[in-house]
Amino acid sequence: MTTLEQDRAEEVEAADRPLTALDRCDSCGAQAYVRVVLSGSELLFCAHHANKHEPKLRPMAETWHDESHRLNA
């Protein structure tokens, strides 16, 4: 496995890790329930800001990890 392939595998693994109470929304600081990976960079959003930005970000996202279903659990 090349270094580039290994880096990409680590990025995918990190993008799939569960979100915790320590993960905070990049927009407002609330608990994050959505992780978006764009060009190798990670953005975290609360459910409100994920919904607000989804129409623009979803088409460009490499990964859209959504755990907002936990809000209703």
pLDDT, tens digit, for every residue of 21-56? Answer: 999 999 999 999 999 999 989 999 999 999 999 999
Looking at residue 9, its pLDDT comes to: 55
pLDDT at 17 over 60: yes
Tokens for 30, please give them: 């609330």
Looking at residue 41, its pLDDT comes to: 94
pLDDT, average across residues 59-67: 96
62/12 Cα distance (integer angstroms): 9
pTM: 0.80
45/10 Cα distance (integer angstroms): 21
